[in-house]
């Protein structure tokens, strides 16, 4: 549904997004995890057609986000970091307006309006002025706005930031409810959020993708386990057989690298085992060329820790309580995860 290839976005000399590639399948919820300033918002803005990419391509439902922007815009719903609301309008008038500019036909507007109100669970607030709503309800109106035209893809930029724990729970529940029908990308800097709502995760830092993984793998990683990454020259099937024959291997991921006959493999094993010697001897024993072998030490939590601690010096100069309030979740969310 969404294909991003070698996407780069520079602002002058600074590269906000640096050569990132990923895909999102239909009906999937993809989490975009990274500290503030990692390039999440920029990537989303490129996907929505708000910003043009410096190089690389992004396609949504087969349409290029820059060349066929109008086609893409019809198919996406977008909730920016601050919900784009008109405080002086009522919820119903606002959603009707959005439906109109999103190209919903006059006959369908009433139906779509009801649907969006129902899905965002704000039917009882339909006649209220938006400025009188609480933060949580405003966020829901923002989500309703992003689905009112029944788009294929919904892009949510930090949908739970600034909400209280109950509201966060509700919004996450709401997002899960959208999956299946819609393909969803959501960005966050909260690890738990990804775990609870997303099928797959892209971790991004300083404009580069650090890791792409399923949420199960991520959770598994957090529980421990060892990983070895190898690059082998040779036919894929043979390599698979060789690796399969090693004892203690829990999971193998193979993929062919740029040059056709080099295979990259990630081998997972039980916690506390070290298979490096075995892997090397088996591969070499079969007459294959071992090009690279290294243990991957960083768990995703480590990676995330690293990202967030790197972030800290940036936040330090202004130790105002407002900054802390704006991102209450990084430390909390980690402590939520780590006890296991």
* Cβ atoms within 10 Å of 226's Cβ, excluding its own: 19
Closest contact distance (angstroms) between CB of 177 and another protein is 22
Tell me which residue has tokens 């399923």.
214
Shortest Å, Cβ 165 to another protein? 25
Could you tell me which of 172, 207, 301, 215 has the C-alpha nearest to residue 31? 215
Cα–Cα distances (Å) from 48 to 33, 60, 71, 262, 298, in that order, read 18, 9, 11, 36, 33
Among 55, 86, 132, 302, binds another protein (CB under 8 A): 86
Structure tokens, 102:
């999103």
Residue 97 found at the interface with another protein (CB under 8 A): yes
Residue pair 303/281 in contact by the 8 Å Cβ criterion? no
Q: Which stretch binds another protein (CB under 8 A): 98-106, 120-128, 218-226, 318-326?
A: 98-106
Regarding 2 and contact with another protein (CB under 8 A), the answer is: no
- 246 to 275: interface string for another protein, x by CB under 8 A: ------------------------------
Cβ distance to another protein smaller for residue 76 or 230: 76
The residue behind tokens 């690279």 is: 292
Its sign, for the CA torsion 106, 108, 109, 111, is positive
3-state secondary structure (DSSP) of residue 262: strand
In the list 15, 27, 57, 100, the residue contacting another protein (rule: CB under 8 A) is 100
Binding residue for another protein, selected from 15, 74, 250, 276, defined by CB under 8 A:
74
Residue 63 binds to another protein (criterion: CB under 8 A): no
Contact flag: residue 62 with another protein (CB under 8 A): no
Question: Is 13 a residue that touches another protein (CB under 8 A)?
Answer: no
Any idea which residue has 């507007």 for tokens? 109
Total interface residues for another protein by CB under 8 A: 30
Asked whether 109 and 96 are in contact (CB, 8 A), the reply is yes
| C-beta of residue 15 within 8 angstroms of C-beta of residue 186 | no
Is 49 near another protein (CB under 8 A)? yes
Backbone angles phi, psi at 113, to 5 degrees: -60, -50
Assess 147 for contact with another protein (CB under 8 A).
no
Determine which residue in the list 62, 103, 177, 248 makes contact with another protein, applying CB under 8 A: 103
Half-sphere exposure of 54 (CA within 13 A, CB side): 15
Write out the residues near another protein by the rule CB under 8 A.
Answer: 11, 45, 48-52, 70, 73-74, 76, 78, 80-89, 93, 97-98, 100-103, 145
């Amino acid at each position: 549904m969404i294909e991003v290839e070698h996407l780069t976005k520079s602002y002058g000399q600074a590269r906000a997004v640096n050569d990132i590639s990923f895909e999102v399948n239909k009906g999937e919820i993809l989490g975009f995890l990274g500290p503030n300033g990692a390039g999440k918002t920029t990537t989303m803005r490129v996907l929505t057609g708000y910003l043009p990419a410096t190089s690389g391509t992004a396609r949504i439902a087969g349409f290029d986000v820059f060349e066929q922007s109008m086609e893409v815009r019809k198919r996406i719903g977008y909730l920016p970091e601050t919900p784009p609301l008109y405080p002086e309008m009522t919820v119903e008038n606002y959603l009707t307006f959005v439906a109109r500019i999103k190209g919903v036909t006059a006959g369908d507007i009433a139906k779509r309006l009801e649907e969006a109100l129902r899905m965002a669970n704000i039917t009882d607030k339909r006649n209220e002025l938006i400025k009188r709503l609480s933060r949580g309800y405003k966020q829901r109106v923002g989500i309703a706005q992003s689905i009112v035209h029944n788009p294929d893809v919904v892009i949510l930029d930090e949908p739970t930031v600034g909400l209280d724990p109950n509201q966060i729970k509700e919004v996450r529940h709401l997002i899960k409810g959208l999956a299946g029908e819609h393909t969803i990308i959501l960005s966050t800097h909260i690890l738990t959020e990804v775990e609870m709502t997303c099928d797959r995760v892209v971790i991004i830092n300083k404009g580069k993708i650090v890791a792409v993984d399923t949420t199960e793998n991520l959770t598994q990683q957090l529980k421990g386990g060892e990983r070895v990454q190898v690059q082998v020259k040779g036919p894929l099937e043979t390599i698979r057989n060789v690796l399969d024959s090693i004892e203690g291997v829990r999971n193998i991921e193979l993929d062919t690298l740029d040059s056709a006959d080099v295979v990259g493999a990630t081998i997972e094993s039980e916690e506390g085992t070290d298979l490096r010697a075995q892997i090397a001897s088996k591969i070499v024993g079969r007459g294959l060329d071992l090009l690279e072998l290294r243990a991957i030490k960083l768990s995703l939590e480590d990676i995330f820790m690293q990202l967030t601690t790197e972030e800290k010096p940036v936040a330090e100069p202004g130790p105002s309580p407002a900054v802390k309030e704006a991102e209450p979740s990084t430390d909390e969310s980690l402590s939520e995860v780590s006890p296991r």
